[in-house]
Structure 1
Amino acid sequence: MSLVDGAILASLYMVGIALLMSLYRLLKGPSLPDRILALDTLYINTIAGLILFGMQLRSAIYFEAALIIAMLGFVGTVMLSKYVLRRDIVE
């Protein structure tokens, strides 16, 4: 195992821990904005995990999946934030 492979593996473990902490905050968040922020953090951690996994397997398909999750995560966060502010998504 090279130094780069070890760094990728260690980073995957750290991202996994961050995913678990984000999931905990999503389930136990004290308020709705905290849960929306936890969901956004969960998207970001998932993207990081997919990119690291793609680097470990040396496959480009995981980068495309991460890009799709990034786009959907952004749209989802905007829609949820708009709903919290106005209680209406469609204007």
Structure 2
Amino acid sequence: MTLAMDLMNYALIAAFVVIGLCQMMAMIRVVIGPSTGDRILALDTMVVNAIGLIVLMGIAQGTRVYFEVSLIIAMLGFVSTVAYARFVLRGDIIE
């Protein structure tokens, strides 16, 4: 049983590292993105990575609160990405 728990801990650490690296690469794309579309896509990727980090935190701590928080952030991230894309394309959000 301890071997399975050790493997789970190593897998969680590896997942934190990989998603953290992905988050940093997306931040770099936001800063040096050649176009506005690339920056919007990088921001959306950062939201997805943040959701992944929150879910991993919930798994590591063994609580369900983080999963509900990740659902709320996913909804807000989708709405904000759509609003930002509409603003860039049309110049206004509300018609």
CA distance in 2, matches of 1:8, 1:80: 33
**In the TM superposition, what whole-angstrom CA distance separates every residue of 1:52-88 from its partner, at most 9, and x where no partner exists?**
1110111111111111110110000110111122111
Q: Which residue of 1 aligns with 2:24?
A: 20
For residues 14-53 of structure 1, the aligned pairs below 5 Å read: 14-53=18-57
* Over 4 Å off, 4+ runs: none
How many residues get paired?
A: 91
Task: Specify every segment of 5 or more residues in structure 1 that has no aligned partner in the other structure, as ranges.
Answer: none
Judge which range, 71-80 or 81-90, deviates more: 81-90
1:80 matched to 2:84? The reply is: yes
- Give 1:42 deviation, angstroms: 0.1
CA distance in 1, matches of 2:41, 2:86: 13
CA RMSD, 1 decimal: 1.0
1:2 partner SS: helix
TM-score, reference length from structure 2: 0.90
- Identical residues among aligned pairs (%): 46
Which structure would you say has the larger RCO, counting Cα contacts within 8 Å and 6 or more residues apart?
1
Greater Rg by CA: 2
TM-score, reference length from structure 1: 0.94
- Give 1:49 deviation, angstroms: 0.6
